[in-house]
Chains A and B, each alone.
Chain A
Amino acid sequence: MSDFSIALPAAPGFARNIMTVARRELRDALRARWFALYTLAFLALGLGVSFLSAAATGGTGLEGFGRTTAGLINLVLLVVPAMALTAGAGAIASDRERGMLAYVLSYPIARWELLAGKYLGLAVALLASICAGFGLCAGILAWKGGGADPARVALLTALTYALALSMLAVGMAISARARKSGVAVGIAVFIWLLLVFITDLGLMAATLAFHPPIRLLFFAALANPLQVFKMWSLSSADASLDVLGPAGLYATDTFGAAVVWVFAASMALWILLPLAAALLLFCRRTAV
């Protein structure tokens, strides 16, 4: 009995599918209100933080990008994770909710290709937003004579982007299984709160209550990508982690200059593990 094999044009390769989805995701993000609002908020707050930080240190206003780094780090810790987490959380769940996910997957595209395309598209959109925010901020400071150091701006931008990539991956892992985009975004906001506030407060409370070894505190901080970003940015700006207290001293004493590699490895894991989780959850052969 024949199995009706017929010659068919080859299905598109993975690179083509990923690029197709990424282009569409990027175009959607650039047209979306959330993207414009986050970028504007990031820019406005960045300029505000820069001005206030410089003024507080005795400057006459808009001057010195280096002085404002600490203020910008705190701004990044609030805005960028929220932006990346919510972008990732809506990526798949919203398509699933409106029935589009099943339709797209009826085309010759593998699940992992769709996920990778969405991640890539949103990653480029986030890069555009972060670059726009930091670029305009640094440009205005330079124009006003603040002398923004391009290398410092580039480094802070790169570290911010690494944080955004990790949070985007966490958001996509949430989205991979959520049936409703509202639920996915809700979980993303909860995780944002957990990382921004509760983990910090929890560490402080645990330190006061249990007096854990300093080493444990340092590694507990590494378990939070926001803390990794903060330590990494401060160490890059100040070349000293003393400002972080005993945990910073421990890191400097134990790892010396190599502490940067500890941060890099931790951040890489915070990008790769959630991305692997997203792939695993989304590609498991379950109903769409």
Chain B
Amino acid sequence: MKYATPAYAVAFLLLLAAPFFVYPVLLMKVLCFALFACAFNLLLGYTGLLSFGHAAFFGAAAYVAGHALKVWELPALAGILLGAGASALLGWAFGSLAIRRQGIYFAMITLALAQMMYFFFLQAPFTGGEDGLQGVSRGSLFGLVDLEKDINLYYFVLAIAVFGFWLIHRTIHSPFGQILKAIRENEPRAISLGYDVARYKLLAFVLSAGLAGLAGATKMLVFQFAALTDAHWHMSGEVVLMTILGGMGTVFGPVVGSAVIVTLETELADKVGSLVTVIMGAIFVICVLLFRRGIVGELLALRKRT
């Protein structure tokens, strides 16, 4: 772990310099999905719970933040926090229902609940149905920084993402994180030591949902719209793919996974059209067959061996 701090510093410096070399909107998209995947990884990698409904939190926060900015004309930061808070609340409701089941049943319950949310977003009057919430203005930060400029917005998004990563990192290494690891490693033993595991799982679920919401609301701000694709089950699948491809249960894995997927999708979209789904599927199959630990997981294992 002695390389961890310098690695974080280097990554941070690269991110500070990145918008001068790469299109900032692409970078922001990567950051949002990286945060989304890291939030998901908190649940899958560190608690051992596979949620197949995380799009609901990503999408709900986007709608709530979009509505807050567009209709209530709240400032950007307030809208984003409101969105994340709404997702955390939704996470609490989902979690309370799903947490008592395990494995495939847990995944199915989260999927079913997320599908219900999707239907709600399709029908509810404030979401704009098929069209989504469009033309949300980015506004400014405390009336000082104009967020309509991509470069300004980039640093705002970076600050949110860094906060999110910090919180996840802290959670993983906190007293609470220790108990999560214990539950993942041996749940009956954790119970026999007096821990009410359901309450720990629920808190992990709420944190994960809230952070997924933070990512969704931020993405809404970047693209200035919230749409049904954010809440679609494809999105839930995509975050699983990003996390597993990068390496679940590693701090950096989901970041790498989402960077790879988002970049590929963006680059390939105009070249191969809908074939992109096939390519993603192929990547997933190769990953599961050949490097099950994911990109970062395999690298870490390689370093340990040498």
Partners in one complex: no
Residues of B within 8 A of A (CB): none
Binding site for B on A (CB under 8 A): none
